[in-house]
Structure 1
Amino acid sequence: MELPLLANQLSVSSCGIYGKELARAVLAFKNKQRYFLRGVFAPYLAAVINASCVPQPGQLTTLIVPVPSSLKAVGQRGYSPVLSILEQGMRSGLYSRQLVCRSVLHYRVRSAFGGAQKLKSGSARRGGGEHFIAERAKVPGQPIILIDDVLTTGSTLRHAAMACHKAGYDVTLAVALALTKPPNQEPEQ
């Protein structure tokens, strides 16, 4: 995925292709309050994050930063899916010691109550300006890994990465629980 502001590419890894059982499980977790599935997803997400993390010099930790859910989605579900999976992994000791989960991204007020991304067209996802703000980095160049649930167009991760870059972070990687196939490929049933 290209990030114009960063003048480079952002590598994105995922646990699997969004289709068949994975799609049904993600939808059950997100839309049918099957909260117990966080324990099923946590080891897979941790494995991808741990395998993708580049060791940092000295004692510098890498932050695992969940892409936040909109306030509307959290109100409907009662939880933030990505954050709950990451917290389950942290409680279970699945992450290396150099990784720390921290919510540094927040929706801008005008975007916080927005609807589901899947209901928006590709151009609506790409447009719309800045959706997120990030807390200022305490250590300039603090490495972070962005985490999202489903990668469709890459717009959400692009906006999140640009907000983190503006706040002084070094966005090293993005990880998604599931990755959709490009539009020219047949979706799995």
Structure 2
Amino acid sequence: MRLVDWVAGAGGELLALAVPVDCVCCGAEDSALCPACTSRIRHLAREPFRAEGGAPALMDVSGTILLPVVAAAVYRDEVAQGLLSFKRHGQHQLGASLARALAGAVRAATADADGFVLVPVPTSTAAYVNRGFSPVHLLLKKAAGHLPGVAVVDALRKVRPSGAQALRWTGLSGGQKGLGRGARSQRVRGSMRVGVRSRPAVAGRPCIIVDDVLTTGATIGEAARALHQAGAKVRGAVVLAATRPPDAADPAPGARMEPPKRP
């Protein structure tokens, strides 16, 4: 975990003590997330579900699953409001509640089996500079406390675009929001790699990619490509929220992924 992420989390806690705050979801006073909205997030995330069916970049033209994804909740209501505010400010109270939901999705995906490696998706340089922290890394750090026997490896790094990539991305200026499947896949292709020092930690090991929100699946697909290239055995991905509800997702029962193979 990067030092600046820890500092951002600690700073958020101190700010909450010093400055009166209102609930980001309902406006109740004296708490960034009131008890009622905390309970509501817990309710919305009570049944993690398979979500790759709503992510076109993770399915082939025949509808075959390329990578399974488990989501803690649908990106709506208090989950969406809480995550959006957390991504902007990194409040401790929000992070604790959202991290519990994320941990629940990991447990559903792994069926509480140990041996998995959780690999967070890296944030963009621009977003990191703007926020001063990585929301996914902070959430996963908090969630890890609820996940004994599961390792977290910060293996993925953003890649500075080559000349050809820079030219390709020039026509896709702005953020990814609003881009379709093809445009998102084109924008992120070749944008990640596994750090040299992290390769031994993921090579040959069952890995689960972790991100905050699933939309088209292009970002998770690129993370899987980079991990595969480093020799990792990518079992799937877990996200806090998916933009498509479960009735638009894969109908396969349950959320469990393939467990690690025992020697």
Q: TM-score, normalised by structure 2?
A: 0.59
Aligned partner of 2:147 in structure 1 is 95
1:135 to 2:195 alignment: yes
- The Cα of 1:120 is off from its aligned counterpart by 3.6
> How far apart, in 1, do the equivalents of 2:158 and 2:203 lie?
22
Aligned partner of 1:71 in structure 2 is 125
1:35 to 2:86 alignment: no
Q: Which runs of 4+ in 1 moved over 3 A?
A: 119-122
- The Cα of 1:141 is off from its aligned counterpart by 1.8
- The Cα of 1:2 is off from its aligned counterpart by 3.2
Alignment equivalent of 1:154, drawn from 214, 217, 221? 217
- The Cα of 1:163 is off from its aligned counterpart by 0.7
2:206 aligned counterpart, secondary structure: strand
Aligned partner of 1:16 in structure 2 is 73
Deviations 1:90-145 (A, max 9, x none): 3xx30121x1111101110128xx85321544332111331100135326421111
CA contact (8 A) 1:72 1:115 kept: no
Structure showing the higher strand proportion among its residues = 1
> How far apart, in 1, do the equivalents of 2:228 and 2:135 lie?
24
Aligned AA (2:70): S
Aligned AA (2:234): V
Alignment equivalent of 2:155, drawn from 104, 114, 128? 104
Q: Which has the higher contact order (CA 8 A, sep 6+)?
A: 1
Deviations 1:21-77 (A, max 9, x none): 21111111113x142211111111111112212646xxxx32110001101111111
Structure showing the higher helix proportion among its residues = 2
Aligned AA (2:227): C
User: What do you get for the CA RMSD once the two structures are aligned?
Assistant: 2.7
Aligned partner of 2:235 in structure 1 is 172
Aligned length: 173
Alignment equivalent of 1:48, drawn from 105, 111, 121? 105
Aligned AA (2:97): V
| 1:87–1:3 distance in 2 versus 1, CA, 3 Å | farther
Which consecutive unaligned segments of at least 5 residues does structure 2 have? 1-57, 166-172, 249-263
> How far apart, in 2, do the equivalents of 1:117 and 1:144 lie?
25
1:117 to 2:176 alignment: yes
> How far apart, in 2, do the equivalents of 1:125 and 1:104 lie?
22
Which consecutive unaligned segments of at least 5 residues does structure 1 have? none
1:116 aligned counterpart, secondary structure: coil
